[in-house]
Amino acid sequence: MSGILRFGDPAALPDPEAVIFDLDGTLVDTIPARVRAWVEAMESAGIAADARLAGLMMGRDGRHAARALFAAAGREATDAEVEQVDAEAGERFARYNVAPSLLPGVGPLVQALAAGDRLRWSIGTSSRRASIDASIRALGLAVPPPVTDGTHVAEAKPAPDLLLRAAADLGVAPARCWYVGDATWDMIASRAAGMTPVAVETGAADTEMLVREGAAVVWVMMDGVHEELARRGLVRGR
């Protein structure tokens, strides 16, 4: 299926020198496992977390997500509780995320990116590296892309630090990067970093939420990103 455009004018986007991707809910179908891990970690701390709210927290710095879930339950979390819940959610997710699937359109795109030489690319995720190895393997690439994760910065998304670090790791100016994600936090961080915010509607956030937080374009799935990059001659077509 072709990438269905929900919002924006893809032709108006600047040509990227690099594309940085979020991981969970953008490339790999891990949001259900992430939500389960977070709900259970919160329950271990004595908090009944709302699954929908937990889904909307995905992509955010884990410590901020934990505080927000505590606050939603009417409790102010201590620093120790925040660290415990964040760590436990990551550990639980690593156990559940054994054989994740790629989201629609992702396989052909990452293969085209890996085979090409006109566009640099990487993954920029708020998750800790220890919990994402299965997701990176799911990409099916002989040589995995560079990964900038939440352990590389003091503040992950929605702060711009993670994306700025990812751009620096690629040696590309932020203004020459697209950041592709599925969450509102991705759009906020992308704008703060001076990148072009590109959204796919494959996570918990809908088009209205993504546009409100600054998405320049919103596609239903990754096919749209692939088609636009191929139209510009930056990757081979599907």
Contact yes or no for 19/229 (Cβ under 8 A): yes
Contact yes or no for 135/125 (Cβ under 8 A): no
Q: What is the DSSP string of 72-114?
A: HTT-PPPHHHHHHHHHHHHHHHHHH-SSPPBPTTHHHHHHHHH
Q: Which of these is catalytic: 9, 15, 22, 133?
A: 22
Contact yes or no for 210/201 (Cβ under 8 A): yes
Verify whether residue 22 is a known catalytic residue.
yes
Collect contacts of 230-237 with beta carbons under 8 A, ≥24 apart. 230/112, 232/15, 233/118, 234/15, 234/16, 234/116, 234/118, 234/119, 235/109, 235/112, 235/113, 235/116, 235/118, 235/119, 236/112, 236/115, 236/116, 237/112
Amino acid, single-letter form, for residue 226? H
What backbone phi and psi angles, to 5 degrees, belong to 162?
Answer: -60, -45
State the catalytic residues.
22
